[in-house]
Amino acid sequence: MKNRYKTGRPNKKLGEKKSYRVSVKMATAEYYSLKAKAREAGINRSEFIRKSIQKSVIKQRLSTEILDLVRKLCGMANNLNQIARKANAVGYADARSEYLFLAGKIDNLLEQIRNDG
């Protein structure tokens, strides 16, 4: 009679099997950094990479429209500095209207960045 009791580890389900292999080229510093971090975590390199993939968050690059808005904002910041210098030299009353106009434009631009980004 054949022994019908299975011995050993039970078979893994299809989604649990690790059947894909990925090759990655690394510089020497990157490789030794990976080794050290895996050793520090007390797991092997493969498991460290798997956990890093699961827990990492990649942020999308800024779109060209957002980058353009940021450049405009930088230009406005320079203009605001010039208005502040003028206000210190000539007096606040003369620079107030320029300041209020630019502040409104900056607020609109920031709102546009918030809505797009």
Segment 58-108, tens digit of pLDDT: 888 888 888 888 888 888 888 888 888 877 777 777 677 777 888 888 888
Of 68, 80, 53, the C-alpha closest to 109 is 68
Question: Do 72 and 35 share a domain, yes or no?
Answer: no
Task: Report the domain count for the chain.
Answer: 2
pTM of the model: 0.47
Domain that holds residue 98: 64-116
Segment 13-59, tens digit of pLDDT: 877 888 888 999 999 999 999 999 999 999 999 999 999 999 988 88
Question: Do 69 and 109 share a domain, yes or no?
Answer: yes
Three-state SS for 33? helix
